[in-house]
């Protein structure tokens, strides 16, 4: 059971430690600056923080002492456009994932406006994945919420790290079987109600808000999509919509139990222009049977006049599947150690929360 | 050589004291500064080499007009000021 949590916020990175069953803030970094995402790399215990400085752009810092000190490393950079053409500039780091079981395998970074990058030297230099960037369909990608498309979920297959799935808002799910040398759009089954009727089932127009893979049953992945929840049990060859989730099937975040592919959690909201908890009551939706039935979990969560929204990276689960944590746009933060049956609020007022991740206890 | 002065805000992130640098345009002056401080370039310019949206650069009292290629002229006794814009915080 993890005793470390990282919380990325509009005003810095917070590390929480669990002592005597209570989570407390024990370290702060980058106070005053937006931290959009972080990675606590289990392979070498390095910690990476992606900053999105309002004036000075995106930066990445690495810590080799668990966040006590930081060193600025390189940042993904888009190629300069030919004279007279409009070029692309990095807008945000939206995904950071180990690319394989060893440090030498590197790290993948997904970005807005839609480029996938990889580093093989612990962040010092980054390379654009040109096979995906130059894919002929990319001109059809479009932004969902953000002005430009973005890669927010990277799911490397633990059995074969050459087999990679990406989720893109908005360009659906993408697959590479060869470590990123070539890419194809994922299988059918998702529905996009924001498109004209004839184009709603096109895999390329889908807006998966978040995609997660079951660690011990890697063929099973869950997607919280703009138009509901979808699940695959054949490694994204096809998707099936999960119907009947209460109180809503709209949301951004999803977590799957690391050993039980039938168990997943979502944080529902009023769809999709309004985006706050249904009836002002914050709840977590849990299914334990692959989406046939669901529980609405609210014990310990505010049940009146609550307007907290939870972003796609702001729900985390640890390796036991019993501890979860999530944080909201209004800076509130909750944890559970019983799979969501009861929740405890962190008694602090944090800045708006972008991302939450359990960490190594080293 | 022109004098280049940086907003104190930048010094929260990296070491960039005021300095002197040669060059006949803003681009040339900044390129000389970046030779000693390569990380600074990414703070001021975007991936395409244009001034970041929320950074402003002045030559004496005038904001630079060419934010894409920084061709505004700089004289040897001019001051180049690098500020954060009021937007973007």
pLDDT digits (tens, 9 = 90+) for B41-54: 999 999 999 999 99
pLDDT at position A272: 78
Smallest Cα distance from B39 to chain A, Å: 9
pLDDT at position A224: 98
**Residues of A in Cβ contact (< 8 Å) with B9:** 55
- Is the pLDDT assigned to residue B2 strictly greater than 70? yes
Mutate to test the interface with A, among B15, B38, B42 (most CBs of A within 10 A): B42
Contact predicate B71/A36, CB 8 Å = no
Distance CA A25, CA A148 (A): 34
pLDDT digits (tens, 9 = 90+) for A31-43: 999 999 999 999 9
Instruction: Using DSSP bridges, classify how beta strands A150-157 and A57-63 pair: parallel, antiparallel or unpaired.
Output: unpaired
- Mean pLDDT, residues B44-67: 96
- Is the pLDDT assigned to residue B61 strictly greater than 70? yes
The ranges assigned to domains in chain B are 2-84
Pick from B39, B49, B52: which is nearest to A55 by CB?
Answer: B52
Closest residue by Cα to residue A203 from A234, A236, A171: A171
Q: With an 8 Å Cβ cutoff, are A55 and B55 in contact? A: yes
Cis check: omega of the bond before A113, within 30 degrees of 0: yes
Segment (H or E) for B39: helix B38-44
Long-range contacts of A215-219 (CB under 8 A, 24+ apart): A215/A158, A215/A258, A215/A259, A215/A319, A216/A258, A216/A259, A216/A261, A217/A259, A217/A260, A217/A261, A218/A157, A218/A158, A218/A159
Mutate to test the interface with B, among A56, A90, A111 (most CBs of B within 10 A): A56
Q: Which residues of A226-251 are buried (b: 16+ CB within 10 A; e: fewer)?
A: bbbbbbbbebbeebebbeebebbbbb
Long-range contacts of A271-275 (CB under 8 A, 24+ apart): A272/A226, A275/A250, A275/A309
Distance CA A163, CA A16 (A): 33
pLDDT at position B89: 54
Fill in the DSSP letter of residue A78: P
Contact predicate B56/B63, CB 8 Å = yes
Task: Spell out, as residue ranges, where chain A has pLDDT lower than 50.
Answer: none
Give burial (CB, 10 Å; 0-12/13-18/19+) of A85. exposed
Distance CA A325, CA A317 (A): 7
Segment (H or E) for B32: helix B26-36
CATH architecture of B2-84: Roll (3.10)
ipTM score: 0.92
Smallest Cα distance from B38 to chain A, Å: 11
Give burial (CB, 10 Å; 0-12/13-18/19+) of A21. exposed
pLDDT digits (tens, 9 = 90+) for B6-42: 999 898 899 999 999 999 999 999 999 999 999 999 9
Q: With an 8 Å Cβ cutoff, are B89 and A90 in contact? A: no
Segment (H or E) for B43: helix B38-44
User: What is the set of domains in chain A, with CATH numbers?
Assistant: 4-79+88-358 (2.130.10.10)
């Amino acid at each position: 059971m993890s005793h470390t949590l990282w919380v990325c916020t509009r005003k810095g990175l917070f590390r929480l430690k669990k002592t005597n069953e209570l989570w407390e803030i024990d370290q702060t970094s980058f106070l005053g600056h937006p931290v959009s995402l972080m990675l606590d790399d289990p392979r070498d215990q390095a910690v990476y923080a992606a900053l999105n400085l309002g004036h000075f752009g995106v930066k990445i810092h690495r810590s080799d002492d668990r966040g006590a000190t930081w060193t600025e490393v390189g940042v993904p950079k888009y190629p300069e456009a030919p004279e007279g053409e409009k070029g692309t500039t990095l807008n945000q780091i939206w995904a950071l994932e180990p690319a394989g079981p060893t440090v030498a395998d590197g790290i993948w970074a997904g970005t807005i406006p839609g480029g996938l990058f990889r580093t093989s030297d612990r962040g010092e230099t980054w390379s654009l994945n040109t096979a995906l960037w130059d894919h002929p369909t990319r001109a059809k990608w479009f932004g969902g919420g953000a002005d430009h498309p973005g890669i927010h979920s990277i799911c490397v297959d633990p059995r074969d790290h050459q087999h990679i799935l990406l989720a893109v808002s908005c360009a659906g799910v993408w697959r590479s079987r060869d470590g990123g040398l070539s890419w194809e759009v994922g299988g059918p089954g998702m529905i996009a109600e924001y498109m004209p009727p004839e184009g709603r089932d096109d895999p390329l127009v889908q807006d998966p808000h978040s995609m997660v893979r079951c660690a011990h049953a890697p063929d099973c992945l869950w997607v919280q999509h703009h138009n509901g929840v979808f699940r695959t049990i054949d490694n994204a060859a096809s998707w099936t919509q999960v119907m009947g989730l209460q109180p809503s099937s709209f949301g951004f975040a999803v977590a799957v139990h690391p050993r039980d592919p039938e168990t997943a959690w979502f944080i529902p909201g009023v769809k999709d222009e309004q985006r706050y908890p249904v009836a002002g009551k914050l709840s977590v939706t849990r299914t334990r049977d692959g989406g046939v039935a669901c529980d609405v979990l609210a014990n310990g969560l505010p049940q009146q006049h609550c307007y907290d929204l939870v972003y796609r990276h702001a729900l985390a689960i640890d390796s036991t599947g019993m501890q979860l944590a999530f944080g909201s746009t209004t800076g509130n933060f909750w944890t559970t150690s019983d799979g969501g049956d009861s929740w405890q609020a962190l008694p602090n007022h944090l800045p708006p929360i972008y991302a939450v991740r359990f960490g190594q206890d080293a | 050589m022109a004098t280049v002065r940086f907003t104190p805000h930048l010094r929260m992130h990296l070491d960039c004291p005021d300095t002197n640098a040669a060059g006949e345009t803003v681009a040339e002056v900044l390129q000389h500064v970046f030779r000693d401080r390569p990380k600074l370039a990414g703070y001021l310019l975007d991936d395409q080499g244009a001034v970041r949206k929320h950074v402003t650069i002045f030559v004496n009292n005038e904001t630079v007009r060419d934010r894409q290629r920084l061709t505004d002229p700089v004289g040897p006794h001019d001051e180049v000021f690098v500020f954060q814009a009021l937007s973007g915080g």
